[in-house]
Amino acid sequence: GIEFIDSYVFNKAEYIRFNSTVGRYVGYTEHGVKNAEAWNSDAGFLGQEQATLERFCKTNAAIDYSNILDKT
């Protein structure tokens, strides 16, 4: 399967991440945890991440997989 991860970094430290396997945001700092709680309760935010997974990741994965099979 495909796993899409969208990380948010500030001063070289990851503070929040969306993981498509989990299906929600996870915070890694106090600020990140607060944002994760807010973003997880916002259907629009979650919908944007799911749309990116469908539109970009799955489409490109299918193309890449096809290219690999063509070369073998």
Q: What is the DSSP string of 9-68?
A: EETTEEEEEEETTTTEEEESSHHHHHHHHHHHT-HHHHHHHHHHIIIIIHHHHHHHHHHH
69 pLDDT higher than 70: no
Q: Which residues pair with 61 in a beta bridge?
A: none
Contact of 18 with 12, CB cutoff 8 Å: no
More confident residue, 3 or 13: 13
pLDDT given at position 53: 74
pLDDT given at position 62: 63
Which of these CATH numbers, 1.10.1200.10, 3.90.220.20, 3.10.320.10, 3.40.50.300, describes 5-70? 3.10.320.10
Domain ranges across the chain? 5-70
pLDDT given at position 63: 60
1 pLDDT higher than 70: no
Residues 20-62: tens digit of each pLDDT: 888 899 999 999 999 999 999 998 888 888 887 777 766 666 6
